Amino acid sequence: MTKTQTSNTQIKSVLEAISTAVFTTKWNSLEEAKQYVINAMEGKSINLNDYLAINKAVKEAPTMVKLQQYLCNSLLKYEGMGVGAKKRK
């Protein structure tokens, strides 16, 4: 599969693994954590638009807290549990 042929389930599991590492690893710097996220996404089957949006947001995160917050919000979005998510019947 290519980056453009992916479901949210695959991106979710990639984001879960990445966010766990970002939260549990003692990073020497914010830049090191950002580079980990970018490298971890490389070669994964992630929708190209999602990949580009995540990559941009990660690069622009000004602090570790903002990076972690973005990853948490991304998990909520891709699991369909965000604030704007529709309730299941």
pLDDT one digit per residue (tens) for the chain, 89 residues: 344 444 555 555 788 889 999 999 999 999 999 999 999 999 888 888 988 999 999 999 999 999 999 999 888 887 666 666 555 55
Closest CA to 70 of 44, 27, 38: 38
Q: What is the pTM of this model?
A: 0.74
* Per-domain residue ranges of the chain: 8-78
